[in-house]
Every structure is written in C-alpha cells, then in structure tokens.
Amino acid sequence: MSNKRILVVDDELNIRILLGSILQQAGYTVDTAEDGFVALKKIQHTVPDLVVTDLRMPNMNGFELLSTIRTRFPDLPAIAISGEFVSVHESPLADAFFQKSHYTVPDFLSTVSDLLSGSRKDKRKTQVNPIWAPTGDAALMLTCAKCLHSFPIDPNDDSYQSKETDCIFCGARLEIHLIAIGVAQPSSN
C-alpha cells in the first residue's frame, strides 16, 4: 500500500470521482478540488506528492494552477488532462499529458508511478508564464506566475517575438512559453 498523496483537480464531479477511484484502488491517498483556487489552498495546507489537473476550468484554470505550482513548488510533479489536445512535450508546465477518453488506465497509472518514483525528465525550476486562449482563439492571455493576474497579449508585439514581456499588473519580467492547444487530429492510416 502506497502512502503517496495525489490531488485531482477538475471542475467535473464525475471526473474527480472516476480518477479518485482509480487512484485509490491503486493504493494512493486522493484529495480533490474543483478548480485551481481550491487546489492551491489545499496544496498550501498539505503539499501532495503529485497533482493531476484538468486545463479548462472556471475561476483559476489548469494553466494558471500549473504555472503557480512550477513557481512555488518546482519539484511537485504534475499531470495535465484535457478534452483538447495539448502539446506539452517541450512545455515546462506539466510532466505528462493525457487527452480525456484517449488513454488507458494502465498507461495513466504507469505514468503516475514513474513520476512518483522520481523518474521525471528534469527538475524544472524556472518561472513559467503560460499563454492560453480562454475562449477558443479569440484572445491570447498571459498569466503572471508572480501575481497570478492574466492579461491579453498581442502576438504581433515585439516583446512577444522576443519571448519576454513585463506583467502589466506587478511589473515582473516574464518569460513566455507557448502551449499548442487544439483538437486532436485523427491519425491517417
């Protein structure tokens, strides 16, 4: 029986119950949260051994949560789960990504086990400031990992091209990390 604690963050109750059940049956202690704000409160009280989070949630979304985790708890492994395809293979936000309904329980549990055993690809200790589109492709938003405020950015702005800009709220110098988001394309045979 494992004594590892996992925090599952998702705004959908059914997903929290399902993932919590799968992880508990595998021997993990599971806590849940319905958004990033609730998750951060729980993490500040008791830091889990792993966070599994949805990306699209109301209030504080998974991008903002992961950005904060990378800043405040850089050694805390995290798995992102979303109904949309997200490219995280070179992203500093999550250690692994699973697309909802497109993964197997054994693959998920294997990744959880690998991350909990310390076999992360690297220990990321950089400040992460993700760009995300809250309502499709309508606007690109940048989240400051220092003050947690989000603000729109113009992809044609020279600071965007240099991958750095200043937070319009607190003035912190921000490094920009691009995250590819979209609908998974069917594989061609």
Q: Is the pLDDT of residue 17 over 80?
A: yes
Side-chain-side CA neighbours of 129 within 13 Å: the count stands at: 26
Model confidence at 104, pLDDT cuts 50, 70, 90, reads very high
Q: What is the pLDDT of residues 154-178, one digit of tens each?
A: 766 655 555 777 877 778 887 765 5
First-to-last C-alpha distance (Å) of the chain: 42
Question: Which neighbouring-strand residues pair with 99?
Answer: 82
Q: Is the pLDDT of residue 125 over 50?
A: no
Output the average pLDDT for the chain.
77
Q: What is the pTM of this model?
A: 0.68
Sheet holding 164-166, edge to edge: 150-153, 140-143, 129-132, 173-177, 164-166
Return the pLDDT at 158: 59
Q: What is the pLDDT of residues 126-153, one digit of tens each?
A: 445 555 555 455 456 676 766 666 677 7
Return the pLDDT at 162: 55
Q: What is the pLDDT of residues 67-91, one digit of tens each?
A: 888 888 888 999 998 876 555 444 5
Domain range list for the chain: 5-116, 129-182
Residues ≥6 apart with Cβ < 8 Å to 51: 6, 7, 9, 39, 43, 65, 69, 76, 77, 78, 79
Model confidence at 185, pLDDT cuts 50, 70, 90, reads very low
Q: Which is higher by pLDDT, 36 or 175?
A: 36
What percent of the chain is modeled with pLDDT above 70?
65
For 135, the token pair is 């309502």
* CATH superfamily, region 5-116: Response regulator (3.40.50.2300)
Return the pLDDT at 134: 54
E strand or H helix that includes residue 13: helix 13-25
Q: Is the pLDDT of residue 120 over 60?
A: no
Cα–Cα distance measured from residue 73 to residue 7, given in angstroms and rounded to the nearest whole number: 14
CATH topology of domain 129-182: Microbial ribonuclease fold (3.10.660)
Return the pLDDT at 48: 97
